[in-house]
């Protein structure tokens, strides 16, 4: 029944239907009509195989990310930094593309449903843009100054941060679906950061008022910096910030996060593009996977068990963090650490 609903959904969104058909046709053409090994490869996988596999993995990442309530970047970047030898700047710039595009394509549907608060988006956008650009510039500058050593530092730092993120997912069980209405501070009242939206699962309207606005602006700056520096996006932090600190209902926090980070990361990605650190042929399948997977994931959201998907996410995060820390230490010290 769910498969029929998904097919019906795709057909009701004809542009998505056309995109899926076109993508499938193009990749099928490349696999069958092009001599893949003539375009390089690794082991038994040709260059074309790697492109197609990237697309399929990206679709899966997008679906897992949507259901787990995070951006794709927090899965993509650590996975590739841990388990491939691609240049770290290239991975991080592509990670920002991954983080952005699922947010971009869901912006329209989320705003139509009233699940993304444009005022919160614009409030958070400026600090995230400033933080993101600073993070990108710092990443590029570090890579140029320290070379291979910077790769080791990045892997180690990201591995440790990922352990923290994974721990947050394990121990944090305190998201609040509908935070109680608190008296908001004068700044929030001046900005009129209050809204009412239709909650279909309750069959009623839900009201909220944003709190701790000034503190949140500072945290948005930090989220932007880590997103731009590591190529992660920032949904893993933005959602709990909006829900637990700003007292925004979890659905609105999740929806707003996607829209906010799409806007915020748009500026962070340009420094990478301007120094040639984003390579189109590599980023393309990841981007397409996020667009298609993000839309499909949103449709599967109601039917798949979120707890099972979150468990899978935690395993991926822990495995990636262990491998990242090991590779970081290996690069910096020369000591081989046989992990995964």
Partner 1 sequence: MIYGQTIYWLTLLSSFLVLLGTVVSFIEKDSPIPTKQLLQSVIDGKNVDQIWQELGLSPAPDILFFLANPSVGESITMIGIAIGVSSVVPATFLSAYFLKKSRNPVFAILAILSGLLTCVAMTGIIL
Stretches 56-64, 159-167, 231-239, 272-280: which one binds partner 1 (CB under 8 A)? 272-280
Structure tokens at 84: 């491939």
Residue from 145, 171, 174, 280 touching partner 1 (CB under 8 A): that is 280
Residue from 73, 227, 271, 328 touching partner 1 (CB under 8 A): that is 271
> Should residue 97 be labelled a site residue for partner 1 when binding is judged by CB under 8 A?
yes
Residue from 23, 138, 189, 331 touching partner 1 (CB under 8 A): that is 23
Q: Which stretch of DSSP H or E encloses residue 127?
A: helix 118-146
> Should residue 340 be labelled a site residue for partner 1 when binding is judged by CB under 8 A?
no
As measured in angstroms, the least distance from the Cβ of 228 to partner 1 is 10
Convert residues 138-177 into a mask of x (bound to partner 1 by CB under 8 A) and - (unbound): --x--x---x------------------------------
As measured in angstroms, the least distance from the Cβ of 316 to partner 1 is 22
> Should residue 87 be labelled a site residue for partner 1 when binding is judged by CB under 8 A?
yes
Q: What's the CA gap between 240 and 61, in Å, rounded?
A: 20
Burial of 213 from C-beta contacts in 10 A (0-12 / 13-18 / 19+): buried
Of 223, 212, 207, the C-alpha closest to 125 is 223
Residue from 213, 278, 313, 324 touching partner 1 (CB under 8 A): that is 278
Of 238, 262, 246, 234, the C-alpha closest to 110 is 262
Q: What's the CA gap between 1 and 284, in Å, rounded?
A: 32
> Should residue 258 be labelled a site residue for partner 1 when binding is judged by CB under 8 A?
no
Of 78, 101, 262, 85, the C-alpha closest to 164 is 78
> Should residue 198 be labelled a site residue for partner 1 when binding is judged by CB under 8 A?
no
Q: What's the CA gap between 82 and 269, in Å, rounded?
A: 21
> Should residue 30 be labelled a site residue for partner 1 when binding is judged by CB under 8 A?
yes
Q: Which DSSP string do the residues of 178-230 spell out, in sequence order?
A: SPPP-PPPHHHHHHT-EEEEEETTTTEEEEEE---HHHHHHHHHHHHHHHHHH
> Should residue 19 be labelled a site residue for partner 1 when binding is judged by CB under 8 A?
yes
Residue from 5, 28, 53, 108 touching partner 1 (CB under 8 A): that is 108
Residue from 7, 28, 56, 118 touching partner 1 (CB under 8 A): that is 118
Stretches 16-24, 173-181, 237-245, 330-338: which one binds partner 1 (CB under 8 A)? 16-24
The number of angstroms, rounded, from the C-alpha of 237 to the middle of its chain's C-alpha atoms is 11
Residue from 281, 307, 335, 338 touching partner 1 (CB under 8 A): that is 281
Q: What's the CA gap between 30 and 38, in Å, rounded?
A: 12
Of 41-60, binders to partner 1 (CB under 8 A) are 41-42, 47-48, 50-51
Report whether 67 contacts 301 (CB < 8 A): yes
Residue from 157, 245, 275, 301 touching partner 1 (CB under 8 A): that is 275
């Amino acid at each position: 029944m769910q498969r029929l609903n998904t097919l019906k959904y795709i057909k009701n969104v004809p542009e998505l239907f056309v995109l899926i058909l076109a993508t499938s046709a193009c990749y099928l053409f490349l696999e069958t009509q092009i001599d893949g090994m003539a375009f390089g490869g690794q082991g038994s996988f040709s260059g074309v195989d790697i492109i197609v596999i990237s697309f399929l993995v990206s679709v899966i990442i997008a679906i897992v990310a949507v259901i787990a309530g995070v951006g794709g970047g927090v899965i993509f970047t650590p996975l590739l930094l841990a388990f491939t030898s691609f240049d770290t700047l290239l991975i991080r710039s592509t990670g920002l593309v991954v983080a952005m595009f699922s947010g971009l394509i869901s912006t329209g549907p989320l705003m139509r449903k009233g699940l993304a608060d444009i005022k919160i988006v614009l409030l958070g956008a400026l600090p995230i843009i400033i933080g993101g650009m600073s993070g990108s510039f710092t990443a590029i500058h570090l890579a140029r100054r320290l070379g291979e050593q910077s790769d080791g530092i990045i892997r180690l730092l990201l591995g440790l941060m990922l352990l923290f993120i994974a721990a947050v997912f394990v121990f944090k069980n305190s998201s609040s679906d509908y935070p109680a209405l608190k008296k908001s501070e004068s700044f929030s009242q001046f900005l009129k950061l209050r809204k009412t939206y239709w909650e279909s699962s309750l069959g009623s309207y839900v009201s909220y008022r944003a709190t701790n606005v000034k503190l949140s602006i500072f945290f948005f700056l930090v989220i932007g910096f880590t997103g731009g520096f590591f190529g992660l996006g920032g949904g893993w932090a933005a959602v709990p910030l909006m829900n637990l600190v700003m007292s925004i209902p979890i659905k609105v926090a999740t929806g707003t996060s996607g829209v906010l980070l799409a806007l915020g990361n748009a500026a962070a990605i340009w420094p990478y593009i301007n120094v040639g650190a984003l390579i189109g042929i590599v980023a393309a399948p990841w981007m397409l996977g996020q667009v298609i997977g993000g839309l499909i994931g949103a449709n599967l959201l109601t039917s798949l068990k979120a707890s099972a998907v979150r468990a899978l996410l935690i395993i991926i995060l822990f495995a990636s963090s262990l491998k990242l820390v090991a590779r970081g230490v290996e690069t910096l010290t020369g000591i081989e650490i046989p992990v995964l």
